[in-house]
Chain A
């Protein structure tokens, strides 16, 4: 994907990352946590222009859950209200591989699932390991269940890991990556680094741009101009503006969908996203 795709007016897939696994209502009381709240938030995001919804599960206390039944309740809450492409997270700092597989086992399986391409640091003493063995195991179960992986690239080294995964496994076209920018182990957030990452993608790969916090708006806008797709939502950014908490996931989606339209690229519908992603 490149600037030519922007000039050609290719449609933009807007992914809404509603909940995440890191922070909760203590960071923004509008962040959805229960299946009901997540279902409602997903419906609002679809109406605002999202085509894909990225889902994590939470316990009633707002803490992380890797329970298959909890993912089942969430997926049903979203499916009953929307036509969105459902993407389950398989991320999970500290959690076992067996726990992280659970989100792949809903009935029906999610159309997509995230696949973290390598390690990343958390707090002072934690690392999300994401060893190559773990990546392969999660990927193999995705293939078995007909789930398309979304390859999460937290930094440029993970682009090497994408290439290595393509050597080890036979990924279906188009390869779909998410380029992530922020603090810590993620790529330093700058326009140059986004541009650079897009130039290091495998031939034919699509990309989605994810910027944490205040980098969400500028870097996703740049992603639109570079012919890519975008991800926004309270998982990645709880603010709408400086010191202004976002009112909802849909508020962030609506701004991005409006920007894409202004810049000459229409947001894709869920079915158009399915075509683009080869689902």
Chain B
């Protein structure tokens, strides 16, 4: 099972801090590579849910680690 991404952190959303109801709010997924909060769907990649994996599925991780952009396999197929 893929690991949680090392760039993932949980922190309070600024909007909730501003509106004063941060005490009730749950911390949210924040990406230290992109320096922004993560969309709900991408957080599944960050957390390695459903077999998703930051090393293959997240372009932000790949860029931060200096890995090549694409992960496509080599070779053919004409469709």
Chain A interfacial positions (CB closer than 8 Å to B):
20-27, 29, 58, 60-64, 93-96, 99, 122-126
Could you show 12 A-B contacts with beta carbons less than 8 Å apart? A23-B39, A24-B39, A26-B28, A26-B38, A63-B29, A63-B47, A64-B41, A64-B43, A93-B41, A95-B50, A124-B69, A125-B58
Q: What chain A residues lie within 8 Å of B13 (beta carbons)? A: 25-26, 29
Residue ranges of B at the interface with A (Cβ–Cβ < 8 Å):
10, 13, 15-16, 19, 26-29, 36-45, 47, 49-52, 56-59, 69, 71
- A24 CA to B19 CA, complexed, in Å: 16
The DSSP consensus for interface residues of chain A is: loop
Q: A29-B19, A61-B29, A125-B71 are in contact. Are A24 and B40 (CB under 8 A)?
A: yes
Of B19, B40, B52, B59, the contact of A94 (CB 8 Å cutoff): B52
Measured between beta carbons, the chain A residues less than 8 angstroms from B69 are 124
A125 is contacted by which of B10, B39, B43, B56 (Cβ under 8 Å)?
B56
Whether A123 touches B40, Cβ cut-off 8 Å, given contacts A25-B13, A62-B28, A96-B50, is no
CB within 8 Å for A123 and B59 given contacts A21-B41, A63-B44, A64-B41:
yes
CB distance from B36 to the nearest CB of A (A): 8
The listed residue (B10, B15, B19, B42) touching A123 by CB distance below 8 A is B42
Set of chain A residues within 8 Å of B59, measured between Cβ atoms: 123-125
A34 to chain B, nearest CB (A): 9
Q: Which of B29, B41, B49, B51 makes the CB contact (< 8 A) with A122? A: B41
What CA separation (Å) do A24 and B52 show in the bound complex?
A: 20
**CB-CB < 8 A to A122: which residues of B?**
41
Q: How far is the CA of A99 from the CA of B40 in the complex (A)?
A: 16
Q: Which of A22, A29, A58, A63 has the most CB of B within 10 A?
A: A63
